[in-house]
Structure 1
Amino acid sequence: MTIKEFKLPDVGEGVAEGELVSWLVAPGDRVEEDQPVAEVETDKALVEVPSSYDGTVEELFAEEGEMVPVGDVIISFRVDEEGDAEAGASDDADSAAASDSEPDATADEADASAGDTAPDAEPAAESEPDTPSGRTFAPPSARRLARELGVDVAAVDGSGPGGRVTEADVRAHAEGGAAASGGGSDGDAPTPRPAPTDTGSGERKSAVSKRGSADSAAGAGGDAPEPAGRETTLATPATRKVARERDVDLDDVPTDETRDGEAFVTAEAVNAYADALESPAEPTAEPEPVDAEPADAEATPEPAATAAAAASGTASTERDGDETVPYRGVRRTIGKQMERSKFTAPHVTHHDTAEVDALVEAREELKPKAEARGVKLTYMPFVMKAIVAGLKAHPYLNSELREDEEEIVLRREYNLGIAVATDAGLMVPVVDDVDEKGLFELADEVNDLAARARERKLKPDEMKGGTFTITNFGAIGGEYATPIINYPETAILGLGAIEERPVVREGADGDSEVVPAPTLPLSLSIDHRVVDGAIAAEFANTVMEQLEHPLLLLTE
């Protein structure tokens, strides 16, 4: 029997890390090769991570919501020598007991390293009791804690929603069992059982580790604040990054704030605690004479109290109705892309309005034919064909400026990105070769890409290679905007809502009159380094001509 560790694979070109959104398995579950074990959100898409082994889940090394670098171990499996899956939970205990009698080299090293600190520790197999076949709902952290404390998670009464077992439930069950058995001898604190990762996992740490051990206690010295020593601490990825940079254990940072019943630590509290550790109070060389009585402990707070006060002050600020939302994944990617575009390309936006009576009539006439083919026909395919006509007439709007080479590339492909609003942010799937496709084909492809974008099922390749982008803010409401270019493209066209608005037309008697007519507001942003304002206006005129006379689209 061997332990196989599985690292987070490269889930997309150029992706360095991903947020582990949810685990699809739990320790003790049997999995097969290529079975999805986790959902990971990158800055490009939400993907499922498949297993590389047939076996039984041994340990989960990351919490849901944690940012995990590509290449880090996220899960381990128990497999036999041939790599086949184990028969079931009843065989797991027998196999683990047999492996204790003939441990492999890795297990010997782990046992040897653990021998100095816990010579009487029980084998890993004994610290993970058998679980009945019935399903027990518990997060990975609660299951790990149960194994560390030698608690059968199936025997714990869950207090969470739907009977979900929490870490507090596990600790309460363990303390109740210890009290019933009379506790340790001579009043000594019991030695914690080793986690399953102590065998066969080298120095890999579990997602939940016991606090208050020798390693955490050794970090403080002199007048440094005493660690809080919690079991679990919640924090945003930004706060965890600060903790790593300041070499601080989040479980040791004092805080009075909680989220979902668990301690919550902010970056400000981490910095305050780290400052207190780095600058402990030192006695002066020559104490000044004191006329009054010595101040008590409350008059001059210790660094730990200062850190706690800072954390408490921050917590009170954040509790005033504010909500903290992590800035990561697709949202962070959008922000970086918009920042790069806005601060790299000087934007100019040209506004105009097309009178689209004939377009509305053409769509209404074609809708029944589209429905007969199972296609929902919107205005977007018409606009896409009109844009291609404009790009062919004015190729500088279908270009890319390569600054390092000091050259402008005029693209001969017409790949249009369609901005789609999703719960995770704005995503831009790309429709390739628009000039080679018909209206119904474009409608079907756009509808498919938009649906899969909202479901986070787009492939990374489906969001690459665009030469021009369309954003339809009119679908939500509004007339004009100043769209930000999808860099390194050089132009983007924003569409307002098609509505009846007052327009001036020549009447039957030759006099001008104001009448209601359907119009389409257009907002064209350009990179002014590449495209002049006059060229932008000419492009808009070409697009409007195509939309106002849709029979011209038949030539595209």
Structure 2
Amino acid sequence: MPVKEFKLPDVGEGVAEGELVTWLVAPGDRVEEDQPVAEVETDKALVEVPSSYDGTVEELFVEEGDIVPVGDVIISFRVGEDGEGGEATAEADADSAEADADATESAADADTESASEPGTEPEPETPSGRTFAPPSARRLARELGVDIAAVDGSGPGDRISEADVRAHAEGGDGGSDTADSGSDEAPAPTPTDVGSGGRKSAVKKRGDDGATGSAATTAPAPDAPEPAGRETTLATPATRKVARELGVEVDDVPTDETRDGEAFVTGEAVRAYAEALESGESPEPEATEATEAPEAPEAPEAPEAAVVDADASAPEPGSVDASSSAGSTDETVPYRGVRRTIGKQMERSKFTAPHVTHHDTAEVDALVEAREELKPRAEEEGVKLTYMPFVMKAIVAGLKEYPSLNSELREDDEEIVLKGDYNLGVAVATDAGLMVPVVESVDEKGLFELAAEVRDLASRARERKLKPAEMKGGTFSITNFGAIGGEYATPIINYPETAILGLGAIEERPVARDGEVVAAPTLPLSLSIDHRVIDGAVAAEFANTVIEHLEHPLLLLSH
């Protein structure tokens, strides 16, 4: 059968290269046209790369973590000639089934003796042939330690769903990984019509040494620590790579560190957990500033815990993982992907637009009360109501009155474009860097609708499931550093926009009322503007309008 080589396509608009994060297939797997075979991270998003062929995976030419230029060969497939590939594959499967039957017959006695010994169980057989499963099911299988090929599919054509994977795992069959996915004694590949052209394969071909190149998982020691078993864990791509190399699930690694309310795991924690598995000793979670610091007094919620400062381009301590040279404590972190894009965007903005930042504070007693009154109604509709929708509506009121803040300066054309749409970008911190999904037509949506959309976009941003189009078309941005802690900042404009509003934490602070100092909930605001387009006086008037609508939330009903 001929071999077809598959090149990395242009997975985005003008993307020149991408990092191959995860292979979704292995040599010997049957794939269908349009079935995702890999996840690739570009400077814009994490995307799935679909196959262009029906066939069997022959060879992988790229390792996970490699940067691949668009147009380079990443994988090859064995496909049928003139549409007869299916018949040829069927014959091969039949021959393989016969060989497996003979092998099973000859080893029956040995299996019986082994099964009768105390403490031993026969390993489950892995079905041969096609395995039809969407990427979400394959990803879940990897997280649960389930061999996807051993799962019985309930969908059309035995397609495997996430429910099938969970049922298999709960049934006790998914507790251990199959060490060799190629142990079906598949025949060595036949000579191909198209060779690799001297390219080095990242993974062995199907049939080489009877393996497909997947790593075997080391059995844990008798006194191995209990896995954490979280459903969601944040970690950098480098940390996930270390976990794959050590055969560790990041969801099982103990940690006290968090990011945006989710557990965050570092490379050191992964290594410590792997060593503990081998030794049988329970590892202690890494101590962090967050765990050592005394608990802060309870305060009102920040506008949206999902979002952070838009100029947070530097990685936080402990959030990166890299190999240290002998005798040195320095770490090196690849500057690429989303992180490099953030850096270039911030550099362009800061060195192109002269920034001026205006600070002010809103006294939001009425806003806090309004949200508390609306929360039960929102919960009835399945919506978690934060302060962010109120802020977004107040911003739209200000933009309508002062349209120069909802604009773009086109230097080449020597013109300022006042945008007619009100599309607000909301900065979201992810384990891969900062992303700014855009909520379109904010002026046409209600508070509950905005709350649900912001929550959905933030969640998918963290899971790297945003589409590139969902991060374009913004006319004004919001960044909420108060979700982490802080009052004022100097946020960098999301160029080519001309303004960005930073939100501090809503907390009780001393304010003067009727000659007395009292405690009241306040919201600090930091407004950065492009001084080429917006005057300082206009920025102050815009901030006053936003504050007026936050302090008197009934005014938002008029928008």
- Secondary structure of 1:401's counterpart equals strand
Structure-2 residue corresponding to 1:335:
343
Aligned length: 362
Deviation at 1:51, TM superposition (A): 1.2
Aligned residue type for 1:75: I
Inter-CA distance 360–59: structure 2 relative to 1 (3 Å threshold): same
Instruction: Give unpaired runs (5+ residues) of structure 1.
Output: 96-131, 136-160, 166-193, 211-235, 238-259, 261-314, 507-511
Deviation at 1:321, TM superposition (A): 2.0
* Contact persistence 1:496–1:520 (CA under 8 A): yes
Give distance in 2, aligned partners of 1:316 and 1:455: 28
- Secondary structure of 1:417's counterpart equals strand
Structure-1 residue corresponding to 2:275:
none
Give distance in 2, aligned partners of 1:425 and 1:462: 16
Deviation at 1:86, TM superposition (A): 6.6
Deviation at 1:385, TM superposition (A): 0.4
Aligned residue type for 1:494: G
How is 1:118-137 mapped onto 2 (pairs within 5 angstroms)?
A: none
Deviation at 1:29, TM superposition (A): 1.4
Identity percentage over the alignment? 79
Deviation at 1:429, TM superposition (A): 0.4
Deviation at 1:206, TM superposition (A): 2.5
* Contact persistence 2:362–2:524 (CA under 8 A): yes
Give distance in 1, aligned partners of 2:50 and 2:324: 42
Deviations 1:131-168 (A, max 9, x none): x9689xxxxxxxxxxxxxxxxxxxxxxxxx97868xxx
- Which has the higher Rg, Structure 1 or Structure 2? 1
Structure-1 residue corresponding to 2:17:
17
2:478 counterpart of 1:470: yes
Structure-1 residue corresponding to 2:92:
91
Give distance in 2, aligned partners of 1:469 and 1:14: 24
* Contact persistence 1:28–1:89 (CA under 8 A): no
Aligned residue type for 2:41: E
Deviations 1:460-484 (A, max 9, x none): 1000000000001111111011100
Give distance in 2, aligned partners of 1:3 and 1:22: 23
Structure-1 residue corresponding to 2:542:
539
* Contact persistence 2:80–2:88 (CA under 8 A): no
Deviation at 1:92, TM superposition (A): 7.6
* Contact persistence 1:197–1:206 (CA under 8 A): no
- Higher relative contact order, chain-length normalized (CA < 8 Å, sep 6+): 2
Structure-1 residue corresponding to 2:513:
505
Structure-2 residue corresponding to 1:7:
7
Deviation at 1:532, TM superposition (A): 0.9
How is 1:335-484 mapped onto 2 (pairs within 5 angstroms)?
A: 335-484=343-492
Deviation at 1:30, TM superposition (A): 1.3
Give distance in 1, aligned partners of 2:345 and 2:34: 34
Inter-CA distance 200–93: structure 2 relative to 1 (3 Å threshold): farther
Deviation at 1:60, TM superposition (A): 0.7
Deviation at 1:90, TM superposition (A): 7.7
Inter-CA distance 321–92: structure 2 relative to 1 (3 Å threshold): farther
RMSD after superposition: 2.8
Instruction: Give unpaired runs (5+ residues) of structure 2.
Output: 97-124, 129-175, 181-187, 205-236, 239-270, 272-322
Give distance in 1, aligned partners of 2:445 and 2:403: 19
Give distance in 1, aligned partners of 2:200 and 2:502: 49
Deviation at 1:2, TM superposition (A): 1.1
Deviation at 1:202, TM superposition (A): 5.5
TM-score, normalised via structure 1 length = 0.61
* Contact persistence 2:2–2:192 (CA under 8 A): no
- Secondary structure of 2:425's counterpart equals strand
Give distance in 2, aligned partners of 1:470 and 1:316: 37
Deviation at 1:391, TM superposition (A): 0.5
Deviation at 1:9, TM superposition (A): 1.4
Deviation at 1:82, TM superposition (A): 3.2
Aligned residue type for 1:321: T
Inter-CA distance 455–379: structure 2 relative to 1 (3 Å threshold): same
* Contact persistence 1:2–1:79 (CA under 8 A): yes
Deviation at 1:19, TM superposition (A): 0.3
Give distance in 2, aligned partners of 1:383 and 1:68: 42
TM-score, normalised via structure 2 length = 0.61
* Contact persistence 1:31–1:85 (CA under 8 A): no
